Amino acid sequence: MAIIGFIGLGIMGRPMAKNLIKAGYKLVVYDKYAKFDDLVSLGAEGATSNKDVASKSDIIITMLPNSPQVKEAILGTGGVVEGIKAGTIVVDMSSIAPAAAQEVGAALKAKNVDFLDAPVSGGEPKAIDGTLAVMVGGEKKVFDKVKDILEKMGSSVVLVGDLGAGNVTKLANQIVVALNIAAVSEAFVLATKAGVNPQAVFDAIKGGLAGSTVMNAKVPMILDGNFKPGFRVELHIKDLQNALDTAHELAVPIPLTASVMETLQALKVDGMATNDHSAIVRFYEKLAKIEVRK
């Protein structure tokens, strides 16, 4: 069985790595900024650097905050590229700019190393239970070699196109999610201000055309006043910035995305950067001077 190197053990990466260990894979793990004793206690081997991970692995998975961290971990000093063997497969499951994924892929190709960009959706709860949606860009023959591994972390694993397509798909996902939360927020603030019980509104509309996975996941949190992060505001800002940058490069106007980006920025200014992105409702609550709660 292939040895898997796993770099990036934060909110998402740690439970993803645990699911691979539970599935019987041998892992070599490393995170520059986080301890990983818990994973070692489960049977993983702790590494001393990204380079060390690469030298000991057949397949390497990275799960990092953004493009600069991915490029540093893979291409930087002491990075994966310094210890990697020809024939290794690198799968970046971070959410980064599509152009950055293509840049990393080109650098690895020069070392005879295959690369896939495979960002995920579902947040911490789905990372924990192994039901993430995984959207993959790259060559099918490479995808086929790692699909079984990815399916230990996700319930939906889809090859969406060439290298970079995974992250384009993730940006599309993040636009839909952000705008959906904003729409839900506007609607429920209006209903609450009008004196209608928001729980009753939720029960009435969730089964109709307005119903969505986002509504089902976020409205119960809003009604409980629970903004503990499954996916932080600051991370959604990062994703929408990548979406805006990519859209501008392609001459595609995305005005609704720009609008909700400013809402997220306002939340950050108000000290809510580490809240769950369902805190978008708090922006509207502040404007209307009402809280959407049970």
Mean local confidence (pLDDT), 235-240: 96
SS3 percent helix, strand, coil of the chain, rounded to 5, is: 55, 15, 30
Please report the pLDDT score of residue 230 as a whole number: 84
Cα angle value 42/46/48 (rounded, 5°): 170
Mean local confidence (pLDDT), 36-45: 98
pLDDT-based confidence at 166, cuts 50/70/90? very high
Please report the pLDDT score of residue 5 as a whole number: 98
Residue 160 has a CB neighbour count (10 Å cut-off) of: 19
pLDDT-based confidence at 148, cuts 50/70/90? very high
* Catalytic residue, candidates 51, 71, 126, 170: 170
Percent of the chain whose predicted confidence (pLDDT) is above 90: 97
Beta-bridged to residue 61, according to DSSP, are 6, 91
Mean local confidence (pLDDT), 208-222: 97
HSE (side-chain half, CA atoms, 13 Å) at 276:
22
pLDDT-based confidence at 113, cuts 50/70/90? very high
Complete domains list, the chain, with CATH:
3-162 (3.40.50.720), 168-288 (1.10.1040.10)
pTM of the predicted model as reported, rounded to 2 decimal places:
0.94
Would you call 170 a catalytic residue per the annotation? yes
Residue 280 reports pLDDT greater than 90: yes
Each residue of 43-59: b (16+ CB within 10 Å) or e? ebbbbebbbbbbbbbeb
CA 76/CA 69 separation, integer angstroms = 9
Contact 94/63 with Cβ under 8 angstroms?
Answer: yes
Residue 288 reports pLDDT greater than 90: yes
Helix (H, G, I), strand (E, B) or coil at 21: helix
Please report the pLDDT score of residue 123 as a whole number: 87
The amino acid present at 250, given as its one-letter code, is L
- What's the distance, CA 86 to chain centroid? 28
Please report the pLDDT score of residue 251 as a whole number: 98
pLDDT-based confidence at 1, cuts 50/70/90? confident
